[in-house]
Every structure is written in structure tokens, then in C-alpha cells.
Amino acid sequence: MNKLLLFISLVGTISAKDVSHEWESFLQEKYTPEVKTADSYRNYTTEAPESVQQFYHDNHINQTLAFVLKKKATYSSLDKAQMSIWDVMDYLDSLVDESDPDLGLPQSIHAYQTAEALRKDGHPRWLILTGFIHDLGKVLAKFGEPQWAVVGDIYPVGCKPHKKVVYSEYFADNPDSDSPLYHSKYGIYKPGCGFRNVHFSWGHDHYLYTVLKDHLPEQALYIIRYHSFYAAHREGAYTYLMDDYDKEMIKWLTLFSQYDLYSKDPESFDVAFLRPYYEELVAEFLPETLRW
Ligand code: FE
Ligand code: FE
């Protein structure tokens, strides 16, 4: 058992940040080409940290259609706070400061790394901005949401979970598995209905999409809304729920995920030097404050 897991088991609680960090490290190992081998494909479920497995158990048994609809109703009113992008970025960093900084990079460093990698490759300004802000929906933790309703992979609810969803075996204990309708291939949906007509497990993707939906280009919103939908954009699952729009747009998810996973790089950034560029970029697309 590594030091982090020992600490977690002693304390008896796992913060959203710990799971977020471990999950993202796990994703990086699973999907980064240099470390992906046939063996790691076969064994990843048992090699993942125990906290990640526990996290997915909690996530998969609790994310029912009823739960998702309740969260959408709670958060669609955007009446929880009025904050700037920078307020949220600072808040997410303060979560990391609460424990050992060696355990994970602050969220803002992940933001700068993702955005700088996009910038270095000459991508358009809206895409650099998307990289910079894509994880800010994790502010849900500030509003008291448990980690299994903030971070991790997302997937459709109200229909049978695809085998390609990570740890799909845990869905057996989800109450929706007892419903013949919710456990059928299409569930409450029509074949080819399009992801925008599908309810997804609740987390930071859809929440940030809700906050930003009137402000960014559709490609940016699509990336923000589905960037954690690994079963589709990395595993090719759920094509039967896609419409032509998804088939056109999913290429952005594939592209983006390469930059999202390019994190945890030891290269440090001079944040003070970079900040003016990002202040200008944020101000170009977004109002000074947003409703959250
Ligand atoms: Fe994310
Ligand atoms: Fe990310």
C-alpha cells in the first residue's frame, strides 16, 4: 500500500482532490500511448489504486437516472454563486493546498499545462481557452457534492451501461439495473437520438457546460460537455446513440483528450508570466463574472 492509500485508510475519508488526482493519473497511464501495453489493457482494473476502484464502485451504484435528474434540477438554476473564472481557479487550487502538495498538481497547473500544450501546437484561441477552463466544473465540490458526483468518467444513464465503461461490472449494484427499461440497450432513448438528448452520469462536464452554454463556440461546449466520456471518444462505444452531429463533433474530443492527458508533466510554468495572456484570453470570450 503506498503512502497515499495508507494515509487515506487512516483518515478514513478521501477528498475530491485525492480521487481526482488518482483518477487522472490512472487515465493517463491507461491511455497515454507510451505506457499503454497489451498487458496494461488486460490488468488495469486490478492495478488501479484501491481508492480509484472504491470511487468507481460508489459512482456506479449511485448514478441512477433519478439522481441525475435531481442534480440537473438543482444546478440548472445557476443560483449557487456569482464568480469569475479566476475565483473558481483559485478555489480549486486551495483544495490542493489543504494536504500534501506532493500528492498532486494544483488544478491551475493542469489548466496551464493543457492550454499551453494546445497553444504550442498552434490551435485556435477558443480551443486554448477550452483547455484552460475545461475542469472548472469541479467547483461542484465546493457546493458539497461527493467525489463520485464530481470527477471521473461519464456515461449515459437510463439505458444499459456499455461494457466499455470502466468497471462496468459495478453497475450490477445500481438500482436501475433492476428496471427492464433502463437496462435495455436503448433504454428511454431512440437509436441515433444524439448525445444531447441523452442524460449522462452527473459530474463536472455537464455542470460547466450549463454555466458556459451561452458564451462559447459549439465545439468548445461539446468538448467541455463530453470530455470525460472516455467510453465513446477513446473506446468507440455508444455509436448507436450518436447522431450525425456527434459523428462530426467527436473528433474534437479525440483531439482534446490528448492534451487533457498531457498533464502531470514535471515541467513547471511561470504562472505569473503566463497569467496576463490568459486574462486577456478569458476576457475575450467570457464576462467578468458568471452565474454558477
Ligand atoms: Fe475533466
Ligand atoms: Fe482535465
Ligand closest to the CA atom of residue 117: 2
Ligand closest to the CA atom of residue 114: 2
Confidence (pLDDT) at 268: 72
Q: 132 C-alpha to center of ligand 2: Å?
A: 9
Residue type for 97, please? Answer: D
Question: Which long-range CB contacts under 8 A does 178-184 form with residues at least 24 apart?
Answer: 182/65, 182/157, 182/158, 183/159, 184/159, 184/160
3-state secondary structure (DSSP) of residue 68:
helix
Q: Alpha-carbon distance 287 to 146, whole Å?
A: 29
Ligand closest to the CA atom of residue 207: 1
Q: Residue 83 carries which DSSP code?
A: E
Q: 181 C-alpha to center of ligand 2: Å?
A: 33
Q: Of 49 and 185, which is predicted with more confidence?
A: 185
Cα angle 147, 209, 199 (rounded to 5 degrees) comes to 70
Q: Which three cell numbers stand for residue 251?
A: 473528433
70 lies in which domain range?
3-291
Ligand closest to the CA atom of residue 105: 2
Q: Residue 155 carries which DSSP code?
A: -
Q: 280 C-alpha to center of ligand 1: Å?
A: 23
Q: 260 C-alpha to center of ligand 1: Å?
A: 8
CA 101 vs. chain centroid, Å, equals 21
Total domains in the chain come to: 1
Q: Residue 291 carries which DSSP code?
A: E
Q: Of 238 and 5, which is predicted with more confidence?
A: 238
Q: Alpha-carbon distance 164 to 88, whole Å?
A: 33
Q: 20 C-alpha to center of ligand 1: Å?
A: 9
R_g of the chain, CA atoms, integer Å: 18
Q: Is the pLDDT of residue 16 over 80?
A: no
Q: 23 C-alpha to center of ligand 1: Å?
A: 10
Q: Alpha-carbon distance 211 to 162, whole Å?
A: 28
Ligand closest to the CA atom of residue 260: 2
Q: 108 C-alpha to center of ligand 1: Å?
A: 12
Q: Alpha-carbon distance 250 to 262, whole Å?
A: 19
Torsion of CA 152, 155, 158, 163, to 10 degrees: -110
Q: 230 C-alpha to center of ligand 2: Å?
A: 12
Quick: pLDDT tens for 70-83: 999 999 999 999 99
Q: Is the pLDDT of residue 53 over 70?
A: yes
Burial of residue 101 (CB within 10 Å: 0-12, 13-18, 19+) is exposed
Q: Which residues pair with 290 in a beta bridge?
A: 83
Largest CA distance in the chain: 56
Confidence (pLDDT) at 94: 78
Q: Which residues pair with 156 in a beta bridge?
A: 200
Ligand closest to the CA atom of residue 138: 1
Cα angle 210, 183, 253 (rounded to 5 degrees) comes to 40
Ligand closest to the CA atom of residue 226: 1
**Is there a contact between 84 and 290 (Cβ–Cβ < 8 Å)?**
yes
Ligand closest to the CA atom of residue 112: 2
Quick: pLDDT tens for 144-177: 999 999 999 999 999 999 999 999 999 999 999 9
Q: 221 C-alpha to center of ligand 2: Å?
A: 15
Residue in 156, 176, 153 with CA at minimum distance from that of residue 166: 153
Q: 194 C-alpha to center of ligand 1: Å?
A: 21
Quick: pLDDT tens for 219-264: 999 999 999 999 999 999 999 999 999 999 999 999 999 999 865 5
Q: Alpha-carbon distance 88 to 288, whole Å?
A: 12
Q: Alpha-carbon distance 163 to 169, whole Å?
A: 8
pLDDT-based confidence at residue 43 (cuts at 50, 70, 90): very low
Give the sign of the dihedral formed by CA 174, CA 178, CA 180, CA 185.
positive
Q: How many CB atoms lie within 10 A of CB 274?
A: 15
Q: 152 C-alpha to center of ligand 2: Å?
A: 10
Q: Is the pLDDT of residue 25 over 90?
A: no
Confidence (pLDDT) at 258: 93
pLDDT-based confidence at residue 100 (cuts at 50, 70, 90): very low
Backbone angles phi, psi at 264, to 5 degrees: 55, 25
